[in-house]
Structure formats: C-alpha cells, structure tokens
Amino acid sequence: MLDNRPPLPPEIARRRTFAIISHPDAGKTTLTEKFLLYGGAIQMAGQVRAKGEARRTRSDFMQMEKDRGISVSASAMSFDFGRFRFNLVDTPGHSDFSEDTYRTLTAVDAAIMVIDGAKGVESQTQKLFEVCRLRDLPILTFCNKMDRESRDTFDIIDEIQENLAIDVTPASWPIGSGRDFLGCYDLIHDRLDLMDRADRNVVAESIRIEGLDDPKLAEHVPADLLEKLREEVEMARELLPPLDRRAFLDGTLTPIWFGSAINSFGVKELMDGIAEYGPEPQVQNAEPREVAPEERKVSGFVFKVQANMDPKHRDRVAFVRMVSGHFERGMKLTHVRSKKPMAISNPVMFLASDRELAEEAWAGDIIGIPNHGQLRIGDALTEGESLRFTGIPSFAPELLQTCRAGDPMKAKHLDKALMQFAEEGAAKVFKPSFGSGFIVGVVGALQFEVLASRIELEYGLPVRFEPSQFTSARWVHGPRDKVDAFANANKQHIATDNDGDPVYLTRLQWDIDRVERDYPDIRLSATKELMV
C-alpha cells in the first residue's frame, strides 16, 4: 500500500465494503440486522428465531434459511450511514458453506469478525480468519453476547492473540457481564455507553465524560464495578498496543468492541469504527496489471452467482464487485471471457431481499446483474481491456455422492438443474465418462440437503443422493496429448466438470500416489483458479 496515490474521488472515498465472518451462532445475522436498522434500511429488526412471518430476519430469504435459522447464501446489502455508504456482504458461517465465504472475502476490503463472549475463538472463525490472513484483510472484532454469562475480558483478548496471531487493541471495555452487564466504556472517545434492556431497538445512550476519574461516572456505575473498570482499563492501556491505523490496515492489529447485538448495544460504536478507520476501496490484483479504484474506466468481477432468487422467474443474479470507475445503468461492458459486449440495462442493488434498480455504482460497490447464465464466478467485466482478476479460488470437494432423479424420465431436467448449481458455485458437478448419472461434490454434508431441497422446490424434481465409490476429485493438468493418453488409460476414473475440464476421481490416496509415480507429466491439483 503506497501513500503517494492521488486522493480518491469523494464518492469512492466514502465507500466501505466489508464482510462479516463468524462461527455459526455467534450472532452474525443479528448484527447484520442491526446494521440495517442503524442505516435506516429497516424499521424493525427481525430475530432469527421469531414468531410469525412478519418477524423473519431480512437477510435470510431462502426457505431453508428461514426453517433452520442459518444463513446459507451470502447476500449483499448497501445502505448509508452518516456520510458513508456501507456495502455489507453477509456470509454463511456454517462450515459446510465455507467455499462461498472464501470467495466472498475476495470481494471486500475489510472483515468484521464476530465472536461469542462465552465461547471465544471457535474452529470456523479460525478457518475464515486464515483466509483473511492470506489476503491481508484488515479485521475489526466484535465480541457479542456480553449480556449473557461470558468469559473474562483479558482471557478473550489473549485467546484471539494466541490463536490468530494478531495484536488486539480494545476500542471499548465492558462494564460487568451477564446479568450485571451495564454497558461499555468507549476508550477511543472517553465516554460511557449504557445499555437499555427495556427496548431492544433503541440506540444506547452515551454520556460524555472527562476520562475515568470523572465523578459523573459514579452516578451511573455501581462502586464495585467502577473500581474494577478503572483497574482493568489501566492494565489494558499498559499491556495492549494502542490503536494504530497503519497496523490495522496491514492486517496485523485488530481493534475489539464489546456489545450485545440483540440488544442493539455496541453496534453503533462498531459502525463508527468502520467509518472512521475502515479502508477505502483498495487496489485489486489482476493480470496483466493491478487495477486502482480511481481509474476512469469501469471494471469489476463476479464473485458469486445466485440462481432462482425469484423462483417464479428462472433468473440468475451475478454479484459483481466494482473495482474501478463510475458505472452508469445502460453502459456497455466487455465480458472478457467471451469477448462479447454486454449492455447492462437492469443492474440491481440489494437492501436485503428488496432489490432496486441501480442507476449508478462506484468502485467499491456491489451490484447484481440478472443474466441467463452468461456470467460465471471469476468473470471480469471491463470497458474493453482484457483483464483477469486473480485469486478467486475453487476448492476440490471433500464429499462425493451420485445423484439420480426419482423419475428416470426426468433425467434431462436434472442435468439442467445441476449445471445451474455448478455455475452458481454451490456444488461441483462431474459427469463420469463411464456409466450414467452425475457425481456431485461438496465441501460440507449439509450442502447435499440444501441441494436436494432446492432442486425439489425450484425445479419440482425429487432427487436421490447415494454414496459414491469415490472419495475425492483432482483436476488434471499437463500437456494435451499426455492428458488424453492418461484419460484413455484410466477411463473408469475420469470425469469432466461443468467447464469441460478433466477431473480424476479417486478412491484412495494410493490412486493419487500411483498417478504421480506412473505419469510424471501429469499434475493433479486440489484447487482450480476460476479463470477465463
């Protein structure tokens, strides 16, 4: 990150594009709701488990998400907060959908890590954090559920520092915990924020005070808690690094806020933190050159495809992260993979599941482009220049099952449905060169359930998933003639993915070792860059 770049145009500089990552159940969807509440996007925040249709959360719109109270598909939402425009990308926290989340993180400039005050850093948080690490994403931490019994504040901070190898600086400090949780002391602005337990949708009141010795504190905080607060803050200021914006932007330091999302507490402070310290739209890596947000020409890339958002129309929406320039509705952009121009006449912006036509978008924004399957994950859209944005991964699936239609006459329809999900990135679909049926590969077992329920809901096709003899899949690389010879010799193991690339299906690690031994020119890989 160089500091000698020209200042960004004001419209781009006010953009903050970030994702929320967490272990399932740490309260991510609730936090998203509250963000929208503060951004004025919704009047009443829904709760994940709530009575009646009226109180469903806004950001979970697939039937299965509503039934299970988990977020399955990453959704993007834009809203204004003060003079800033926030683009928030919600990601599924459930580990079975991690691939979707990994890709989403390629489209944002920062991440908010939500951890549960009682459980601390959990396995999935750790995995997602590693991905942020690979991308050097700046991370803001929100320690949620402080209104329930939670662990000691220093313990939580130590655990983050040790498990994630990142420095932590407190932006706020909790006063009491569980039933005695009163609120927080804001260390950045020296003020007291008190939580209102009566009404969950009310913004907490904050009281201006002059430092921790201000006698006004005693009016609001019981003596024992006040003494503890003064001691802890003094220790924290001595032991923990101060908030340094450079270190935060380099991804080596994370500021932590404490709060309770369900009680709307601590959320506004976190949002102020993103606005004040969060990164502006960043330079994106691409071949053959990097692309800077302030460039005049428009460019962007597809990081997610969502099919059938509206089941009445078989529509597909490609989510595009705008990388540079000022996009206006109706512009013609070049679809780099097919080299064809595309007139983008009905781009949409999302306020949860309400969509509006986007008249314009700037670098940093996320827009949805409805299309009929032309756009795939990893595609670049530019004003004519042949760019490829790098670093969007596709992982080898860890679970493989065969998929057959309940009604053999409908095999053709199944073919179409599975291709749709493959292009959406929801699953890998392999067509074996031998035998019939498809082999579907996913990263987590829950995805099979989601696929089966979506194929039935969206296509009216009951399907069966059955165990397959294969346990993993590897993409085959090498000179054309060698790959063909290899494929002919190993017909019963060869399949093609939805792009037509050859895949070697294996039963045991021994199969992979054998290929390495017998075919020195062939390389098997577990990832494939989603490239043009």
The string of pLDDT tens digits covering residues 426-462 is: 678 888 887 777 888 876 677 788 788 888 887 888 8
β-strands 360-362, 326-328: how paired? antiparallel
Quote the pLDDT of residue 183: 80
Quote the pLDDT of residue 170: 87
d(CA 398, CA 436): 22
Quote the pLDDT of residue 310: 58
β-strands 84-90, 75-81: how paired? antiparallel
Quote the pLDDT of residue 98: 57
d(CA 291, CA 367): 18
Alpha helices in 39-112 (DSSP H): 63-68, 98-104
Q: Which of 314, 306, 300 is nearest to 75 (CA)?
A: 306
d(CA 473, CA 517): 18
Q: Which residues of the chain have pLDDT under 50?
A: 1-2, 42-58, 61-62, 64, 66-74, 93, 95-96, 352-353, 531-532
pTM: 0.71
d(CA 33, CA 42): 8
Quote the pLDDT of residue 309: 58
Rounded to the nearest 10°, the torsion over CA 111, 112, 118, 123 is: -10
d(CA 254, CA 170): 8
DSSP states along 338-367: TTEEEE----EEEETTEEEE-SEEETT-EE
The string of pLDDT tens digits covering residues 206-254 is: 666 666 767 777 777 777 887 787 888 888 888 888 888 888 888 888 8
Quote the pLDDT of residue 99: 65
Q: Omega into 288 within 30° of 0, i.e. cis?
A: yes
Give the list of residues 6+ apart from residue 162 with CB closer than 8 angstroms, or none: none
Quote the pLDDT of residue 269: 86
d(CA 515, CA 524): 8
CB 377 within 8 A of CB 303: yes
